[in-house]
Amino acid sequence: MNYENILLSKKNSIAYVTVNRPKVLNALNMATMEELRLAFSDIKDDREIRVAILTGSGEKAFIAGADIAELAKHDAVSGKEYTHRGQSVLDLIEHLGKPVIACINGFALGGGCEIAMACTMRLASENAKLGQPEVKLGIIPGYGGSQRLPRLVGKGIAMQLVLAGEMINAQEAHRIGLVNEVTVPAELIPRAEAIAQKIIANAPLAVQYAMEAVNHGMEMTQAEGLYLEATLFGMCCATEDKKEGTTAFLEKRAAQFNGR
């Protein structure tokens, strides 16, 4: 498929998704969101792809936020629909069944920060700036920022970021747990690829079920989460990959997983 607002490529079991609107700092309009939906649906269905890396084109921005000209046209009814459509794309990314690594290479504001938070993990370059400045426009975060941010950094810090609408740098984002690591810009994608290759070496179904245990367990009581964990552990025990993994360990050789 030909995309107008994003780039999609695949190599060595990794899918690379790049928001490609550098003239507007990769701002999100609905056309871009729909292309992201199509791209991640393709990745979800491609058995050869094990990890996705998401970034923005250019050197200034990951995703600088929403397309304000488009946003300004919404009323109460269309605005609610607008957020639901965007939220569904982020839910697809979060529950893809495959890890998605956000490589934050500049501004990640508003919807850009929210997309990063929907990813499995976040790496940031030293020049990254993150924030939820929606209150400065008379609105609130609409792509999950009011929900994912407190789950990542805690209620108090999330309130400060959302209510003040302030930007923070990569180092502060790392300190509060919003990003996993900070790297120099030239090492951002290589570092993500290194993490991806470690994931790819592991059993595909075990990776998928581990993600499900964490993602769904976050919304449960601990007792419910432990029950889910036990259920998914049992499912792993019925896979060919579990037999291969334990046999390879006992035979002191590298395991050859096939995702079954």
Over residues 196-238, the pLDDT tens digits come to: 999 999 999 999 999 999 999 999 999 999 999 999 999 999 9
What is the pLDDT at residue 240?
94
Residues 226 and 177 in one domain: no
**% residues pLDDT > 90 (the chain):** 88
For residue 188, give the nearest of 104, 98, 82, 247 by alpha carbon. Answer: 104
Tell me, yes or no, whether 15 lies in a domain: yes
Q: Establish how many alpha carbons lie within 13 A of residue 153's alpha carbon, considering only the half-sphere containing its beta carbon.
A: 21
Average pLDDT over residues 48-66: 94
Q: Is residue 82 part of a domain?
A: yes
Kindly list the distances between the CA atom of residue 41 and the CA atoms of 6, 22, 47, 64, in Å, as whole numbers in the listed order.
Answer: 14, 24, 12, 23
Inside any domain, residue 157: yes
Domain that holds residue 40: 6-200
| Total residue count of the chain as it appears in this document | 260
Q: How far apart are CA 115 and CA 227, in angstroms?
A: 30
- Taking CA atoms, 117 is separated from 94, 104, 108, in Å, by 9, 11, 10
Residue 113 lies in a domain: yes
Residues annotated as catalytic are 114, 134
- Strands 121-125 and 181-183 come out as parallel
Task: Report the C-alpha gap between 58 and 42 in whole angstroms.
Answer: 24
